[in-house]
Structure 1
Amino acid sequence: MIDMPPLHFAEVNGIRMGYYDSGPISDTPPMLLCHGWPELAFSWRHQIKALAAAGIRVIAPDQRGFGATDRPEHVEDYDIAHLTADLVGLLDHLQIDRAIFVGHDWGGFVVWQMPLRYPDRVAGVVGINTPHLARAPVDPIAIYRKRFGDTMYVVQFQDSQEPDRIFAENVATTFEVFMRKPMPLAPGVAAARPNLAFPQLVEAYDAAKDRRLPILTDEEKQVFVETYTETGFTGGINWYRNITRNWEHSADLDHTVRVPALMIMAEHDAVLPPSMADGMERLVPDLEKHLVRDSGHWTQQEKPDEVSALLIAWRRRRFG
């Protein structure tokens, strides 16, 4: 793969997990990078290179259901209990006591859960785009359905296998649609409400009418396309199919994060806007925030140098 260290494998929590490990093995605590959907450990290629060059050990797995890692059959195998236990299993395999967990998109949700569930294994947490939120007062799927309707992609994922089919039959188009920079806005002009019917956007996509700039080179896009052509999308979509289950099982969980934390926000992320991080300090007392200007949702790929610099500076400042 492009600019990637060798792929390793570990037997963790009942699955075979593929992961990348770079930088000095003596560096501690290492930074463990957790990708979102539809992404891969490859999404961190820029950060893996930069962090390792800065003398920081960095570990990036393809998480459960993605890429080189196993894709269990049952939907319940993708709940947050399994996803967090996978990461603990990876630490155990590597004989690492504690790590700094860094997550983007869905990976952000997972890493914010790590100090709640495994406080003795977590040195710090970094959320990229994904904030840490209080537990919702009702099932989040009901909230999404009421606010955005039945065509909102998360709601669609709950109700049928049709999105899995659409993405799998249009793999290259899926990444053409998703992996682009947002259109710049004129000063004082508010962003339009995003169209969240992602499967239908993919089906109806016309590249000739898309004025957004791609964030991937042709070679980089091909890595995603080849991988998802082989694996399909269902493993990652099953993470969404556990949102209600995760919510139900979190009623007695203390949601306060009691480790040093960094929140990196993207100015133009329409799905996870910076405003979602307002008030995070109530749940994350030791929190730093940084806003990455002129970036959409795929921040570590859109603004790789800035994200890498923020990670390196915070890691050195807080952990030496």
Structure 2
Amino acid sequence: MTYSQFRSKQNTFTSKDGNIKYLDQGQGNVIVLLHGVPTSGWLYRHMIDDLSKNYRVIAPDMLGFGSSDSPKGYDIYSEEQHADRLIALMDHLNIENWTHVMHDAGGLWTWELFKKQPHRIEKLIVLNTIIYEEGFDPPIRFKPGLMARTAMWSYRNGITTNMMLKGLFKSGMTQNTLSKIDIEGYRRPLLENKTRAMYYFFSQTCNNLDNYQSVIKSIDIPVTVIWGENDSFLKWMSQQEKVINDLKIAKGNIHLLKARHFIQEEQPNIITKIILDF
């Protein structure tokens, strides 16, 4: 499937801040697939068809990412406002409860969602997600200002974008096997000037990571972890004991894969099977 074909399947939700594109596929109980930075629902393309045989799959492009709008401003991309828009999307779809899968910065948007409406998520599946400072080592940190804005602006240039993505997937995958078709889904949004949400993340979030421990400890639903054990961006071993205790993860629900950060690219079939079994 090409990225253009993927986009043609997406629906549109008009939030108060701009249009949010999302894939809505399958029937039955709902699974939400939440991406992080700098990705989109495209990250889950190898998993959606198999999951949607048994479930209704919702895979949004959060505001500022993928094919969704990228309005001016920066605070509009705060973790809290991302959570507000995700809740609004689910309300729009008349979905009260769901199983929630999140990756990377999607974890921060999820913790904010739990602060606001903790009853909405019935099961939680954690994929290489930002949880605690102990495991957080982002590849980029910028101070807010001209230098950071210039760096984000440069990602709108084809040559610079190609170099950035090449480096990102080289460090984020055990072996970069992505084709030009695969890369197009990550490349085109950047060429469409969708970098404001990235600016907020790399210049604000990465320098001032909130402590969500009280929220995380309050979660009392089934949780499973699927983690690329060789991830250099989000490290499992340095925070595992704290995460297991705080999320009350049952024995047998920790799955460490021979992969790095982008486990949906490296091990999609294994992840899908674990989710379906869970």
The TM-score with structure 1 as length reference comes to: 0.74
> Of 7, 12, 15, which residue of structure 1 is paired with 2:10?
7
AA matched with 1:301: E
Aligned equivalents of 1:86 and 1:241: distance in 2? 21
Aligned equivalents of 1:242 and 1:112: distance in 2? 17
> Of 209, 212, 221, which residue of structure 2 is paired with 1:259?
221
Aligned equivalents of 2:209 and 2:97: distance in 1? 24
Is 2:239 the counterpart of 1:281? Answer: no
Aligned to 2:35: 35
- Cα deviation, residue 279, structure 1: 2.3
Aligned equivalents of 1:52 and 1:132: distance in 2? 28
- 1:74-93 paired onto structure 2 within 5 Å: 74-93=73-92
Is 2:37 the counterpart of 1:47? Answer: no
Aligned to 1:203: none
SS at match of 2:102: strand
SS at match of 1:104: strand
Aligned equivalents of 2:171 and 2:204: distance in 1? 29
- 1:191-210 paired onto structure 2 within 5 Å: none
- Cα deviation, residue 77, structure 1: 0.8
Aligned equivalents of 2:217 and 2:248: distance in 1? 12
CA, structure 1 residues 246+95, in 2 after alignment: closer, same or farther (shift >3 Å)? farther
Does structure 2 conserve the Cα–Cα contact (< 8 Å) formed by 1:80 and 1:246? no
Residues paired across the two proteins, number: 268
Does structure 1 conserve the Cα–Cα contact (< 8 Å) formed by 2:156 and 2:192? no
AA matched with 2:152: D
Does structure 2 conserve the Cα–Cα contact (< 8 Å) formed by 1:264 and 1:292? yes
- Cα deviation, residue 259, structure 1: 1.7
- Cα deviation, residue 128, structure 1: 0.4
- 1:1-320 paired onto structure 2 within 5 Å: 2=2, 4=6, 6-24=9-27, 27-28=28-29, 30-53=30-53, 55-130=54-129, 132-133=131-132, 153-156=140-143, 160-169=148-157, 170-180=160-170, 213-243=175-205, 247=210, 255-275=217-237, 276-287=239-250, 288-293=253-258, 295-314=259-278
Does structure 2 conserve the Cα–Cα contact (< 8 Å) formed by 1:112 and 1:127? no
Aligned equivalents of 2:114 and 2:173: distance in 1? 36
Could you list the per-position Cα deviations for residues 14-53 of structure 1 after superposition, in whole angstroms to 9, with x for gaps in the alignment?
32110001111xx12x111111112111111011112013
CA, structure 1 residues 116+255, in 2 after alignment: closer, same or farther (shift >3 Å)? farther
Larger-gyration structure (1/2): 1
Aligned equivalents of 1:72 and 1:313: distance in 2? 39
CA, structure 1 residues 180+289, in 2 after alignment: closer, same or farther (shift >3 Å)? same
AA matched with 2:45: R
- Cα deviation, residue 245, structure 1: 6.8
Identity of counterpart residues, as a percentage? Answer: 20
AA matched with 1:56: Y
AA matched with 1:222: E
